[in-house]
Amino acid sequence: MNALLDQTTDIFCEKLARLDAIGPNRRLIFTVSSVDEPGCHLVAAKLILPADFMVTLAYMAVSADRMTMSPELIEAEPRMLN
């Protein structure tokens, strides 16, 4: 698995500019500041993820131990209607 991770380029992003609902998925649009035009931002990356994965992603983002995550708590999270 680590060999596969090393085959991809890292992209630095400064902020999450937008989050769109696309059916059962979510599109996250990340940006960086433009060096040519102060105050402007350029799209650096767009990710499309299953909406159900967003709860897991939130736990991972706050450095929660994946082995101690409660499946019951994740299941209790409110679901977005599509």
Q: Which two structure tokens, joined as six digits, stand for 74?
A: 């994740």
Residue at 59 is within a domain:
yes
pLDDT digits (tens, 9 = 90+) for 19-59: 999 999 999 999 999 888 888 888 999 999 999 888 888 87
Q: Half-sphere exposure of 61 toward its Cβ, with a 13 Å CA cutoff?
A: 6
Using CA atoms, how far apart are residues 59 and 76, in angstroms rounded to an integer? 14
- Sequence-distant (≥ 6) Cβ neighbours of residue 71 within 8 angstroms: none
Q: Is residue 49 part of a domain?
A: yes
Domain count along the chain? 1
The whole model's pTM is what?
0.64
Expressed as residue numbers, the domain containing 12 is 2-76
Instruction: Report if residue 81 sits inside a domain.
Output: no
Residue scoring higher pLDDT (61 or 80): 61
Domain membership flag for residue 82: no
Sheet with 15-22: strands ordered across: 15-22, 25-33, 41-50
Q: 63 has which bridge partners?
A: none
